Amino acid sequence: MQVKCSLCGGENDTHPGQKMLFCTYCGSALAIGDNDWKEHLMLPHKRDDKSAKEALASFINRKNLAAPKEIKVEFAYIPYLMIEDDREKMRTLPAPGAPSWSLPLPFPPSGNYCFFDKDLAGDENIVVPKEIPEDSWKILHVPVYRIRYSAAGENYEAIVTGENLLVISEHLPPPKPSSVNTANIFLAAVLFVVFLFAGRFGSGFLGRLGYIMLTATLGFSGMSIWEKVRKSGK
């Protein structure tokens, strides 16, 4: 007999009389046979606020959004229900009683799920579901970071799931304002004037072109030397 893992989809061989096993593909705990109780799993995770902050910063930077500031982090094991929708697609939704800041997950975080044991959480907060709907397949206690931060003068929130550090947010900061490098604009204007002035010394088209190329070469060499001197002085 084979049992399909509801988390990764892997087919696992079972033996007669076996009541539980660990998926050979993802390591998740699986209950076997007819049970009058819901499979209750937990993803153990060692809290790491720094990694959660870095995951949020990297996510925002990839999207070229305004940088997060004044970051505050909370952590808890949040109960999620795996429920099949009308299109026979499995959804991972916060259970009744989960904090209001909890958000649906696109998929359960990867990792070695174990049968629920509050001791696996150590001293971290475990949120208890108020009720378990009949149509739920599994209960998952997922390690979740709640991150509150400010950006571009507004306040925002996001959640980061433990283990895979997936960032989920309903509202995101605005894009970074386009920065104008005034120093480069000023330098380009100066070089244009210098090239224009240098071209006046040549006679004919080729002569002017030669003076402009010579001036450009000297200017580039001077800038390179200045940049090396500036960096060595830091």
Helix or strand (DSSP H, E) at 51: helix 49-62
Closest CA to 27 of 141, 114, 107: 114
Residue 85 contacts residue 202 (beta carbons within 8 Å): no
Q: What percent of the chain has pLDDT over 90?
A: 47
Give the pLDDT confidence score for residue 35 in this predicted structure.
Answer: 47
Distance between CA atoms of residues 35 and 209, nearest Å? 87
Question: CA 199 → CA 54, 210, 214, 217, distances in Å?
Answer: 53, 8, 10, 14
Q: Where are the beta strands (DSSP E) in the chain?
A: 2-4, 11-13, 20-22, 29-31, 39-42, 69-84, 90-94, 114-115, 136-151, 154-161, 167-168
Can you give the length of the chain in residues?
234
103 alpha-carbon distance from chain centroid: 15
Q: pLDDT for 97-112, tens place per residue?
A: 999 999 999 988 888 8
pLDDT of residue 32: 62
pLDDT greater than 80 at residue 51 = yes
The rounded distance, in Å, linking the Cα atoms of 81 and 96 is 9
The C-alpha atoms of residue 144 and residue 47 are separated, in whole angstroms, by 9
Torsion sign over Cα 106, 102, 117, 20: negative
Residue 36: the pLDDT is 47
Percentage of the chain modeled with pLDDT above 70:
67
β-bridge pairing 39-42 and 136-151: parallel
| pLDDT in the model for residue 201 | 60
Mean pLDDT rounded to a whole number for the chain: 81
Query: Poorest-confidence range of 73-87, 193-207, 213-227?
Result: 193-207
Distance of CA 152 to the CA centre of its chain: 20
| pLDDT tens per residue, range 142-198 | 999 999 999 999 999 999 999 899 999 999 999 987 655 555 566 666 666 665 665
How many other C-beta atoms lie within 10 A of the C-beta of residue 223? 12
Structure tokens, 17? 């009389």
- How much is the pLDDT for 202? 58
